[in-house]
Amino acid sequence: MALDYDVIVVGGGHAGIEAAHAAAKLGCKVLMLAVNIDTIGAMPCNPAVGGPGKSQLVKEVDALGGVMGIAADATYIQMRMLNSSRGPAVQSLRAQSDKREYSAWMKNFIEAQPNITLRQGMVTCFLTDGQRVTGLQLGFGETVTAKAVVLTAGTFLEGTIWIGKQTQPAGRAGEFPAVGLSSYLKSLGFAMGRLKTGTPPRLDGRTIDWSQLPEVPGDEPHDYFSFLDQRPHLEQLPCHQTRTTEATHELIRANLHESPMYSGMIHGVGPRYCPSIEDKVVRFADKESHSLFLEPEGRHTYEIYLQGCSTSLPVHVQNMIVHSLPGLENAAVVRPAYAVEYDYLPATQFTHGLMAKELSGFFAAGQILGTSGYEEAAAQGLVAGLNAGLYALDREPFTFARSSGYTGTLVDDLVTKELGEPYRMMTSRSEYRLLLRQDNADVRLTPLGREVGLVDDRRWELFINKHAEIKVEVERLKKIRIHPSADWDVALSEFDESIKQSLTLEELLRRPRIPYSVIEKMSPSAEGTPFPWAMELETELKYAGYVERQRMQVAQSEKFDTIKLPPDLDFSLLDNLSKEAREKLNRVRPANLGQAARIGGVSPADVSVLLVYVESRRRRAQASAEQRVVEVV
C-alpha cells in the first residue's frame, strides 16, 4: 500500500535531521527513513560540534531555526572558545559532546515533531514520472510516494571500511551499507565519485596514565551555540593532550606498506584538512611531533577519543602507535581505528537549492555531496530540506547568497567548484569573514528564516528583544561622556591607555585595546547586570570602518549575481571563450554571471565574453519587442 508524503528524507544523520525538521516546519508531511533508527544523530567520528568555520555554520543553522545548536547546548561535556586571543572573525566555539546523549536527544526530538514520521528502511530506487521524482521503492518491495525526496546517505553508498588490508562492506563500523543505489543513480545519468574518510582508535580511560598529560579545561563562564534562552549549565569534564614521538613516527614509516591507502587498495580521496596520522608523518616529515588530544566520549563511559590519530593501519600496529605515546604506554584500545570508502555525487549536478538539475524533486545533502563534518552536513540539510519543502508546496526556491553566511559560501563552493576531495569548512573559505562572524549569525539570517517560515514566534521575539537591547546600549555609550580621572587611569593602565581629554564611552570603546569589560566595570548599564551581547556590540563599533568596506565589496561583487544566464545556453557555441571555460561552464551550468566567474578555469576574459553575450542577447530581445509593438500599431 502506497503511503503519501510531501517530503521523504533518506538518512538519519545530521543532514537528515535538519532536512526533515526544516520541511516539517513549513507544514510538510515528512517521512524520515533510516537504516537504523537507533542511531539517529550518531557521532561516528569525533563527538564534538563546532570549531573554526564550523561553529559559524552551527550558529547559522540555529539562527534559521535549526536543531544542531540546541542539541549541542543540551549535551555538552566541555565548551571552549577557540582562537579567543585573535580577532572576532576567527573566534569559534567548540563543544565536546556526550555522543550517546546527543543521539538520544536528537531521536527524542525527531519523534516529538508532529509532522515527521520516523521509519527504518532501505531504499533501492526512485519512483519517477519523466524527469520528476514521485517517491521511493524500499528494500522489501514497498513503495512510498512523495513530491520531493532528500537523499542524505552519508558514507553509506557502497560503503566499505578498511583496517589494514582487511575490508568489509559497511556504512560505518557495525552498520550495513546502502548497496545498489549508486548503480541506480548512475543509470539515471548521475556522475559518481569515490571518497574516503577515517576515524581514530577509542581507548579505555582507566588504562591511561593521566598524571603525565597536560589538562585542557573548558571555559568558565562559557558561550552557547543557540540564540535561544534557558540553556542548561552543565558540569564540564577536562580533555588532555599528548604528542607523537620519534618512536611513533618510526613505527608509522616502517608500516606504511600495511596501510590500504599507501598500498593502493583504497582509491577514494581523503580530506586534505583532516589527514590521517600516516599522512601527517609523510607530508610533514620535518615535524618532530604532532599534538593529539584525549577527549571523553561521554559522562557515563570510560571510552576516550584519541583526536588527531585517524588511521587505517592494522590493529597490531595501532596498538604499538598508541603505546608509543606519552601517558598511553599501557592504554588498551577499545575500538580500533578504521577508514571508510564510499560513493558520492559531485555537487555541480545540483542547484543552489540542492535540487538535481536533471531530476526535479530530487535533493541531496551532507557527505553524499562531497563534504566532511557534521556541521557542513547540518547546514546543507537545512538548505535541502527547506527547498524540498518549498518545492512540495509549489513555492519558489530559496537561495542563500554567498555573502549571507558560511552556509551560502558552502553551498556555492559545492555547486560551483569541481572539488576532488572532501570539503571542509574553514573561516578562510569566505572572502567576507569579518561580516560573517558567529556572534551576528542571527542578524544576518533570522529575518530570512522568519520570511520563509522556519523561525517561530518565540525565537523571533528573542531576536527583536536582543537587538532592542543592543540599540539602547549603543545610545547609552554615545550619550555618557567621561573625563580624565585617577579611577579611569587605574582601570586603563593594564591596557597601556589613558584619557587625556573628555570623550564618550563609545569613543573609548572604539580604541583597539579597550574591551567592553572595562566599561562594564567602570560605567555599568542601569540594570546593573552583565550585558549579554558585548561581543557583537564591541565588534560592530571597533571594526565599523572595515565592516562597511566589506559591505561595499559585497554590493560590488553581487552585481554579477543578478545577471542571469539562460538555463539552456550551450557554452560550446561561444567561440571567444577558452576551451577550458567552455568545458567547465557546460559541466557546471551556472545560473548567473557571478557563479560563472567563480568556476575554476573561467578567466576574467571569459567573464567579459559572457557579459557581452548577455548584453547583446538583451538588446536583441528588446529590439524584437519594439518591432512587435510597431507591427501591432
Residue 633 has pLDDT above 70, yes or no: no
Q: Is residue 376 in some structural domain?
A: yes
For residues 220 and 332, membership in a common domain is answered with yes
Task: Produce one character per residue of 448-482: b if its CB has 16 or more CB atoms within 10 Å, e if not.
Answer: bbbebbbbeeebeeebeebeebbeebbebbeeeeb
Domain containing 527 — which CATH number?
1.10.10.1800
Q: Any alpha helices (H) in 324-440, and if so which ranges? A: 374-392, 406-416
Residue 320 has pLDDT above 90, yes or no: yes
pLDDT of 179 reads: 83
Furthest-apart CA atoms within the chain: distance in Å: 94
C-alpha 382 chain-centroid distance: 10
Across residues 121-144, what is the average pLDDT? 92
Would strands 143-151 and 362-364 be described as parallel, antiparallel, or unpaired? parallel
Residue 1 has pLDDT above 70, yes or no: no
Last residue of a domain, one of 283, 306, 338: 338
pLDDT of 197 reads: 87
pLDDT of 525 reads: 77
Q: Is residue 550 in some structural domain?
A: no
Q: What is the 3-state secondary structure (H, E, C) of 465-511?
A: HHHHHHHHHHHHHHHCEECCCHHHHHHHHCCCCCCCCCEEHHHHHCC
Neighbours of 249 (CB within 10 A): 21
> CA separation (Å) from 470 to 430, 449, 533, 541?
27, 21, 7, 12
Name the residue with higher pLDDT: 97 or 617.
Answer: 97
Best CA proximity match to 491, nearest among 466, 517, 452, 512 = 517
Give backbone dihedrals phi and psi of 195, rounded to 5 degrees, phi first.
-125, 170
Across residues 346-352, what is the average pLDDT? 96
Best CA proximity match to 147, nearest among 354, 391, 352 = 391
Residue whose cell numbers read 536582543: 466
For residues 443 and 469, membership in a common domain is answered with no
Domain containing 292 — which CATH number?
2.40.30.260
Dihedral through CA 185, CA 190, CA 195, CA 197, nearest 10? -50
% residues pLDDT > 90 (the chain) = 68
Best CA proximity match to 270, nearest among 298, 312, 209 = 312
% residues pLDDT > 70 (the chain) = 98
- Considering its fold, how many domains does the chain have in total? 4
- Band (pLDDT 50/70/90 cuts) for residue 204 is very high
Domain containing 183 — which CATH number?
3.50.50.60
Last residue of a domain, one of 424, 451, 478: 451
Range of the domain at 592: 562-632
Q: Is residue 389 in some structural domain?
A: yes
C-alpha R_g of the chain? 27
**Per-residue model confidence as pLDDT tens digits over 245-272:** 999 999 999 999 988 877 677 767 766 7
DSSP 293-355: EEEES-TT--EEEEET----S-HHHHHHHHHTSTT-TTPPEEE--EEEEEEE--GGGB-TTSB
For residues 145 and 13, membership in a common domain is answered with yes
**Per-residue model confidence as pLDDT tens digits over 430-451:** 888 889 999 999 999 999 999 9
**Per-residue model confidence as pLDDT tens digits over 157-200:** 888 998 998 889 888 887 888 888 999 999 999 999 999 888 99
Mean per-residue pLDDT of the chain: 92
- Residues 377 and 14 sit within 8 Å (Cβ to Cβ): yes
**One-letter amino acid of 357:** K
